[in-house]
Structure 1
Amino acid sequence: MTPVSSHSPHGQSPLRTVQVLGGGNAGSSVHVRSLASGLVARGVRVTVCAPAEADHLYGFSGVGAEHVEVPRSSDPGSVAALRAACADADLVHAHGLHASFRAVLALSGRRTPLVVTWHDRAYAEGARAHLVRLLERRVAKAASVVLGTTSALVDRARRTGARDARLAAVSLPGPRRTVEHEHDEAERLSPKVRAELGATGRPLLIAVGSLDRHRGYEVLLDAARVWRRLDPLPLVVIAGEGPLRGELQRRIEEEGLPVRLIGRRDDVRELLAAADLALLPSRWEARSVLAQEALHARVPLIATDVGGLPELVGDAAELVPYGHPQALAEAVVRLLADAERCEVLRERGLRQAATWPTEDETVAQVLSVYDELTQPRPLI
């Protein structure tokens, strides 16, 4: 006799879920891989609908999920492919605004429960900002449950019309080693990494993220002009790709700024381990992966006082106003000269990181939502 999954909605067959990704955001993609792995381990059937390159990068198939290629766009072919993939799903879980909107279209006319996770805000200006607000409203009203990765996103979902919005438990996936192991590894790798980046004998400041307007890299370049007077001269290294690369590179060269753009990297933990400070100058962040990695790696973090960052880091980082290069520069200069304050931030960072949910807790919360939405209701 075939064993029945403890998470079967009707006591007959394993729960079948479809995870829908837009394909762009690294944080949501890593989260879905972790979630898929945990759900499969608990007997849930998982299909991940995402562009082909997303499966190549994040390996959903490698953790036991079925991958169905669905392009990013909202054209009729894309929605039809998603609709077919969701045909026998007990529940659909979409991640991000655009993926969620396509899921709403694909499930039109069906009673399949839809869970939506908002990992971050969608960025838009002008007429496109109005479109984004319309999409948010449509998605929030259609979803059975909206999970927000920060309190601000939960509030936004409620204001937009969500009937049930909750704070999501979202872990930082990946093997976490002991503090002693992390420290020993950093000591071993740091000289090599620093030499590669050109930071031998000078402070190394690391920023990570796509080269988009909302990341605040123009402000970071403004700040870098201020600390050019320091000796030794700090080097800022920005890991990431995006539409602003040309504009940023031109400024770096024309103004002689001590900044390097090194493109997309898959060794962010090694970069952080070699860094003296981590910088996060964004206009908005929800549950920043860089902030979490920095605190885990015991790297003092300077971040903007925006979005979900204060909630995420507590008193374990230096927070500065967004769009204020002088404040950012002063925080950098102050921390580079204050070893005692840096050590305080390192210790607070470890304590703060210990309060974040684990991968098991994240999967358990999501599974409880799934069970709630798929268990048969008694007839009244």
Structure 2
Amino acid sequence: AFARARPHVIHAHNPTALHYATVGKLLTRARLVFTDHAQTRGIIRVPSRFEWRATDAVVGCSQDTADKSGAVGVAGNISVIHNGIDITPARRTREEVRAELGFGADPPPAQSPEPAGPSGGVFVGIMPAAFHPVKAHDVLLRALARLRDRGVAVTVLIVGDGDERDRIHGLARELAIHGKEARFLGFRKDVPDLLLAADFFVLPSRDEGLPLAVLEAMARSLPVVVTPVGGVPEVVRSEEHGLLVPVDDPDALAAAIERLARDPALRRRLGEAGHARVRDDFSFEKMTRKYEQLYLGLG
């Protein structure tokens, strides 16, 4: 296929694809570009020295990823092009999705100490991420157990699948939050709809490149609770675009979620600022213009 297409540029976005792209370069003499999304840090595979030498340009999806590129064998300069997104519209309304999930739209009684979502009803978070240790689902579950013990009524939609699924489900049962505070939805194709139904986004990762999930949540004006890992701090300034909490700290994570649950004005302020941040600095158009400049400069 490579030989028939005769491409001018072959661009790989993960270490496995780079292996085959290197073969493609040998067959076609095309220029080879690799974008590192931090998957080289033991998550998938580390490319060989031959594959690194075959690249004509290496891009980090964040400055943090670029700074750490030497540890995985990148020799020479690496440029930075931040991820950008093109927002996929939701197909259903917030009310329709919340009704499907069993979340009522009516607010709790005026005397109730329970926080409510912006349009009333249950305060709902969302964490769309593969079940991998780096995503720290265990930290979220322990935070949710702490919130339950403090009487803060929060439900988080946990969306995705992966090798850690059974262990994380088991921990949720052990903490007695499975199906209650933690709702496991498995792999879903309607994540844009689910984001629309949520009141906040959470991702307590132990490491990252520049997660598209964070950008997509911010673009939809969701307040985000995230950790200062990888390229996340390059997008989210704490207390301005979202709340940053330390890694592996369920108490701090619980406290940040509780702040959002009890402060609608804070949710609104962070959501609006996050939306503007992604719109102005992390659009798909801005990213593609930078890649186009890179391609044209390869000669």
- TM-score bracket relative to the smaller structure: 0.7 to 0.9
Amino acid at match of 1:335: L
Q: Of 118, 142, 151, which aligns to 2:54?
A: 142
RMSD: 2.6
Q: How many positions carry a matched residue from both structures?
A: 277
- Structure with higher Rg: it is 1
2:122 aligns to what? 202
1:170 aligns to what? 83
User: Which has the larger share of helix?
Assistant: 1
Matched, 1:238 2:158: yes
1:155 aligns to what? 67
Range with greater deviation from structure 2 (363-372 or 307-316): 363-372
Offset of residue 232 of structure 1: 5.7
SS for the counterpart of 1:205 is strand
SS for the counterpart of 2:79 is strand
Amino acid at match of 1:241: D
Q: TM-score, normalised by structure 2?
A: 0.83
Q: Of 235, 239, 252, which aligns to 2:172?
A: 252
Residue deviations 1:119-162 (CA, integer Å, cap 9, x gap): 2333428xx9xx72xx2654433211111110012223356333
2:216 aligns to what? 293
| Identity level (%) | 29
In the superposition, relative to structure 1, how do residues 236 and 325 fare at CA in structure 2: closer, same or farther (>3 Å)? Answer: same
> Where does structure 2 lack aligned partners over 5 or more consecutive residues?
105-120
How far apart, CA to CA, are the structure 2 residues paired with 1:196 and 1:313?
A: 31
How far apart, CA to CA, are the structure 1 residues paired with 2:164 and 2:287?
A: 34
Offset of residue 319 of structure 1: 0.5
Matched, 1:324 2:228: no
SS for the counterpart of 1:116 is strand
1:350 aligns to what? 275
SS for the counterpart of 1:354 is helix
Residue deviations 1:295-328 (CA, integer Å, cap 9, x gap): 1111111001111001022330100111111111
How far apart, CA to CA, are the structure 1 residues paired with 2:4 and 2:62?
A: 30
In the superposition, relative to structure 1, how do residues 341 and 324 fare at CA in structure 2: closer, same or farther (>3 Å)? Answer: same
SS for the counterpart of 1:107 is helix
Amino acid at match of 2:265: E
Range with greater deviation from structure 2 (163-172 or 267-276): 163-172
Range with greater deviation from structure 2 (288-297 or 196-205): 196-205
How far apart, CA to CA, are the structure 2 residues paired with 1:175 and 1:195?
A: 21
- The structure showing larger relative contact order (alpha-carbon pairs under 8 Å, at least 6 residues apart) is 2
> Where does structure 1 lack aligned partners over 5 or more consecutive residues?
1-67, 69-82, 177-181, 375-380
Residue deviations 1:8-35 (CA, integer Å, cap 9, x gap): xxxxxxxxxxxxxxxxxxxxxxxxxxxx
Q: TM-score, normalised by structure 1?
A: 0.66
